[in-house]
Structure 1
Amino acid sequence: MKKLITSALLSISFVGCASQLKKECESTNWFKYGEEVALRGEWLSSDAKLLSCRKEEAEISESQADLGFKSGRQKYCTGTNTYLVGKSGDPFSKDLCDTPTLKSLVSDYNKGLRDYCSKANGFNAGSSGKKYKNLCPADLETKFLPEYKKGRLKYVEAQIKNLENRQRDLQLAISNKNTQVVTTRMNFMGVQNRRNLLESQKSFAQSTNNLSEVGRLNTELQNLDWELTRARQDVDRAETEKRNLESELDQTGKTIAEFRLEMAGL
């Protein structure tokens, strides 16, 4: 019986997750999303979200996504935009811009990239939090990288400090949540014990053929069943929240370790 209940709960959980993804897919503005994909320099055909929504068999507007992608592609393949792509230190997706003006677009991109890779921009590029993508020309990189690393070091130190503060907050939250878990479990056990007592009284009433007492106890048992369900839900909720906090604490520790490792090389 317990296995059946567990299986049912797992099925409900899976359906809930799937339904949430399906709702998100069906509420998406697909024209806008398609446009965003193109402006990121990516192809709609390999977009992870669109592929997931198709797999979920959600009702999505493929035509709107395609129109949005075409609109974004037109905007992406302009001299002004390709310059900004370079100025941001990002790669330029030339394959998206199959036009006679491609040579000019590449030239604008390279101008932007050289501005990004200037020594004067190095510190700001590093402190922005955006990782260097190894795109700078060799003649600029030697002067850019030392300044970039100074800015990146400042960013990493600030992130470690913030994450360590978050660690302390999470540790306190987990301690408080542990208390809540114990409290909800005790409450659940208390309700369960009261129910067991009523079941014993009901059995005695049945053995003495006290039908009125049996009826009264059945009503109380029904009320206790609802209370037991709520108590079980409180336990589950508290335990889930505790696991989520512990998971975040674990991930925070890993991120700090990654930043410390990076900091050692700056």
Structure 2
Amino acid sequence: MHRPTYGSMLRASAVTLLLALAGCATMDRDECLAVDWRTVGFEDGAAGYAADRIGQHRKACAKHGVTPDLAAYQAGRQEGLREYCVPATGFRLGSQGGSYGGMCAGDLEPAFLDAYRSGQQLHTLETRLANVNYQLDAKRDALQKAESDIVSRSALAISSEASAEERAQAVVDVKHLGERVGRLKAELRQLADDRIHCERDLDDFRATLQLTP
């Protein structure tokens, strides 16, 4: 299995991002009149655009009386796809949670898909860890609030300024809050264990990818 290095993944990510951003703008009149369709096709292919991207260019240029050179565009796109359909790009796409549209056909696809699936696995493990950390933070906040509420409700339960009904309700509240604190602490212990497992799984997988810190 081909494993892209961290450096190659970063370079591919930067190049592809720049090309994608460049392709986002609608072609204006001057661009339509002076366009090299083979170059446009290459840039679209290198940015990983689907084959129907040419339809957007056709629509943008139609009002200026310009029709795309489909043959030149497709030839350029095929060349661009050879730049896009490399393992490093596949890994980046998968690790960012992106979807693969099947544009890397033929001999380019096996290695691309292999790296893409590795990226997906990394994304899954990172997302799982992030979710556990989010739950830990939320439970800690809830625990802190519950403990604070216990203090305030306990004070009310013995307050000479409160009515008998208020004091009785405060006692009930303290009991319920104490039960909630117990549940939250148990959940926090479980989440702490889950985080250890998630971190271990993520570290082990990163080691197989030969990622550097």
TM-score (norm 2): 0.44
**Higher RCO (C-alpha under 8 Å, 6+ residues apart):** 2
TM-score (norm 1): 0.37
Larger radius of gyration: 1
